[in-house]
Chains A and B, each alone.
Chain A
């Protein structure tokens, strides 16, 4: 009895040691700072006050900004989901090699910095940019049109920024849909349209919903795109928070706006949970096990009728369009779909790629590029501001990668391997850095860092970045561990290996690829992070994205094109390496 208790006690301590670092990190650098910020919004000189909120709702200015934010986010979400769906559908269905190619382009956009992509659109849509030049050449317009700083340019930038996220989220669900199901439907008499709308589409809905909420929540906290590509009328709510902190140091009011933003996000999540259940969020849950939605009877029946109608209409259209359909391979995607997907992938990556020749030209950022020079690259490399920013970003990125992995992996072990109670709640807590808008975390951290002297230090940045990167590490490692055959460990132990030796010789070598890819994920998250860096660097000791931001908001110069090109190539290499690792792990 006594030994039993001792063992279970030791087990308890081990578990605590595995989970504590992550919990501590999140409490100290997420819960506390955000809580502080929210408290500041109701804290006046003499105690509790609602003054900030009175100011917030006194005029329609802030509510208007909120409405614009919601409008931009909603339209962005709609466009991303609708255009992302066919892309994910095609990728999930093609053979291995074509899938790798298609996925590379999606991942390349996904990992190319928001800043680089937004900057590329500035260049592309400028008065002397490619688009204007093309329109002039085609004779559609007679003088350069102003394509920038309006709703359209913001929408283009937002969709470009978030489409890869939508595609990847939907893909994770679609890859788990059994392709035999639509085929089975065909043998049962369903025409292609009916098979798609009645069978495939309902099964892909959890992916659509997850993509929708991910894109919407990210969009609502965005500031890079509206700040760079939008005019005054496209100001979004996070930009207001930046103004309050950077220009007036009005913490209370910044807190009040943050509360507003947080409330909106929480309402969205609550609505999502009511309708579909948050468990569908993780996407990875196989649709076969997914509970049917919690929608009530009449809604379901109406939905079913609608799908039947859509199926019938699609089949009518297919019938009208194609008489050649006969000898087509029923499993191959249509030419139309393929053309659409490749066009979208091209549009996604083209701006960044078109910028590359400009960075070697000496004609400024005007299209077409003129001459060849390495001048801009020399400028970057000889400027201590840029080189130091680069070094700092590398340092912080590596620090974040290591810390996130060290803290996240044991927690993932705990969540997968042991039967701790309230797993769902723990998981929700660990994922909360993704849910809470990044801006709120950033401002809260700034406030706390300022008081303990961490502003401008690499340590502060690493801690902040680890908070936002660690959920991805936990998710990745949980997925890896779920696929890991624990019988291998048992085999090692039966062969005489003690627990530590088992870890060292069996577990870790097999998990290495997964750990490496989660390290890279955390590194890339940090390397591209601007929101937290915007404040926590404190004006000096900028990271690369911060330096980029400072420059691009001052002036648009070819130097930035050169930096963008470097970043683009660097990210391309990183994805290539990560993909290689992932495939090597999968091949085992």
Chain B
């Protein structure tokens, strides 16, 4: 198993006055699968290029296994990159493409050929060796890009939205494939995507980026259930965000009052500190919003949408100052028919109500 740890210290990149990456620090453990997630333009590719040595940082350091590589050129870093549009060499056969990094490492012809063959086996395309990239489908090209990257066993692999151009079904299949290869090789992988579902299913940890800075770093569960900011809550999955005020704090739990003194309730913190009297938002995920129970709130049903496995109820709360809410539960056959306009009482378990600071998390 070859894998290295990656350590980024206060790395910063500017284009003129524009800050593409604010000073950022990040540690990636040996063998970890870390995903950089964020909207388009949030600096994911910039960070990846800096790690790969395809761009030079203005400040900061990059360490691989504790060795400073900030100023080593890309060809000396022993990092593999899978580019967004695959970047296969169009004038070379698939075999030559895959053998290229080996040739650059002065591996003999026969050995290079043998190992290219192995890599093709790994990505399950042993029969395309003599073809040219343009003769392959998008999904196949994607696998070849992967094969070219793993063939020389780089200690770290970077992937920039590698599945962005594929259709949904192929994407799901390739996600499994990449996870399998990660398990088999044990390589450290830094993966970029703007698709939150992909990030949730694949990663050991997610690094959520926004406007050139890290918004939150943690396991998928952390980010989903304990978002540090409204941005995180909003970016990962659906959420109901209710305005509230903190009444008191006891350990992890909070006493709160919902929407302008309306109802007293309980919530849990998201890991940061809250003060009594502070205005906050409370996040309840749709699947945790219980219809017909508890009864912190009541509202009228405005819409029902059945999307396969989930049924979504859209509810307008009766109290003023609250946004439209959405509740979700598994679709059951013969479930009680809902009527638009019907009055519903809504509730949630205190453990499922997460307090988030109004501004940025501390």
The minimal Cβ–Cβ distance linking B94 to chain A, given in whole angstroms, is 13
Kindly identify which residue among A178, A187, A198 contacts B79, using a CB–CB cutoff of 8 Å: A187
Q: Which of A203, A287, A288, A329 is most buried by chain B, counting CB atoms within 10 A of its CB?
A: A288
The B-contacting residues of A in range 164-181, CB under 8 angstroms, are 178, 180-181
Given A185-B100, A188-B104, verify A203-B81 contact (CB < 8 Å): no
Q: Does A331 contact B (CB under 8 A)?
A: yes
Q: Which residues from B are CB-within-8-Å of A194?
A: 104
Stretch from B48-56, B121-129, B301-309, B310-318 forming part of the interface with A: B48-56
User: What CA separation (Å) do A180 and B56 show in the bound complex?
Assistant: 16
Contact with B along A220-236 (1 / 0, CB 8 A): 00000000000000000
Q: Does A326 contact B (CB under 8 A)?
A: yes
Closest B residue to A332 by beta carbon equals B56
The minimal Cβ–Cβ distance linking B16 to chain A, given in whole angstroms, is 11
CB pair A189–B71 under 8 Å, yes or no, is: no
Q: Does B225 contact A (CB under 8 A)?
A: no
CB pair A181–B87 under 8 Å, yes or no, is: yes
Known pairs A181-B89, A187-B74 / 10 extra A-B pairs, C-beta < 8 Å: A178-B85, A180-B85, A184-B83, A187-B81, A188-B101, A288-B134, A329-B55, A330-B56, A330-B74, A331-B55
CB pair A188–B152 under 8 Å, yes or no, is: yes
Q: Does A581 contact B (CB under 8 A)?
A: no
The minimal Cβ–Cβ distance linking A422 to chain B, given in whole angstroms, is 25
Q: Does B73 contact A (CB under 8 A)?
A: yes
CB pair B105–A187 under 8 Å, yes or no, is: no
For the complex of A and B, list the 10 residue pairs with the smallest distance between their C-beta atoms, beginning with the closest: A189-B104, A184-B87, A188-B101, A186-B74, A187-B81, A288-B90, A180-B87, A326-B71, A202-B91, A190-B104
User: What CA separation (Å) do A187 and B54 show in the bound complex?
Assistant: 8
User: What CA separation (Å) do A195 and B132 show in the bound complex?
Assistant: 19
The minimal Cβ–Cβ distance linking B17 to chain A, given in whole angstroms, is 15
CB pair A187–B90 under 8 Å, yes or no, is: no
Q: Which residues from B are CB-within-8-Å of A178?
A: 85, 87
CB pair A287–B53 under 8 Å, yes or no, is: no
* Listed A/B pairs (11) with beta-carbon separation below 8 Å: A178-B85, A183-B54, A184-B81, A187-B79, A189-B101, A189-B104, A287-B90, A287-B91, A289-B90, A325-B73, A331-B55
The A-contacting residues of B in range 57-108, CB under 8 angstroms, are 71, 73-75, 77-81, 83, 85, 87, 89-91, 100-101, 104-105
Q: Does A191 contact B (CB under 8 A)?
A: yes
Q: Does A380 contact B (CB under 8 A)?
A: no
Given A188-B104, A330-B54, A330-B56, verify A183-B74 contact (CB < 8 Å): yes
Q: Which residues from B are CB-within-8-Å of A195?
A: 75
Bin the interface of chain B by size: 20 to 34
Contact with B along A146-169 (1 / 0, CB 8 A): 000000000000000000000000
CB pair B132–A292 under 8 Å, yes or no, is: yes
Q: Does B266 contact A (CB under 8 A)?
A: no
Q: Does A199 contact B (CB under 8 A)?
A: yes
The minimal Cβ–Cβ distance linking B305 to chain A, given in whole angstroms, is 30
Q: Which residues from A are CB-within-8-Å of B83?
A: 180, 183-184
User: What CA separation (Å) do A195 and B100 show in the bound complex?
Assistant: 11
Q: Does B281 contact A (CB under 8 A)?
A: no
Which residues of B are interface residues toward A (Cβ below 8 A)? 52-56, 71, 73-75, 77-81, 83, 85, 87, 89-91, 100-101, 104-105, 132-134, 148, 152
Q: Does A419 contact B (CB under 8 A)?
A: no
Bin the interface of chain A by size: 20 to 34
The minimal Cβ–Cβ distance linking B136 to chain A, given in whole angstroms, is 12
User: What CA separation (Å) do A293 and B112 show in the bound complex?
Assistant: 24
Q: Which residues from A are CB-within-8-Å of B55?
A: 329-331
CB pair A330–B53 under 8 Å, yes or no, is: yes
Q: Which residues from A are CB-within-8-Å of B104?
A: 185, 188-190, 194
Q: Does A327 contact B (CB under 8 A)?
A: yes
User: What CA separation (Å) do A180 and B52 show in the bound complex?
Assistant: 13
The minimal Cβ–Cβ distance linking B172 to chain A, given in whole angstroms, is 26
CB pair A186–B132 under 8 Å, yes or no, is: no
The B-contacting residues of A in range 321-364, CB under 8 angstroms, are 325-331
User: What CA separation (Å) do A289 and B56 show in the bound complex?
Assistant: 33
Given A186-B54, A203-B91, A327-B56, verify A191-B75 contact (CB < 8 Å): yes
The minimal Cβ–Cβ distance linking B296 to chain A, given in whole angstroms, is 50
CB pair B152–A189 under 8 Å, yes or no, is: yes
Kindly identify which residue among B56, B90, B105 contacts A189, using a CB–CB cutoff of 8 Å: B105
Q: Which residues from B are CB-within-8-Å of A329?
A: 55-56
The B-contacting residues of A in range 262-302, CB under 8 angstroms, are 287-290, 292
Closest A residue to B104 by beta carbon equals A189
Closest A residue to B52 by beta carbon equals A187
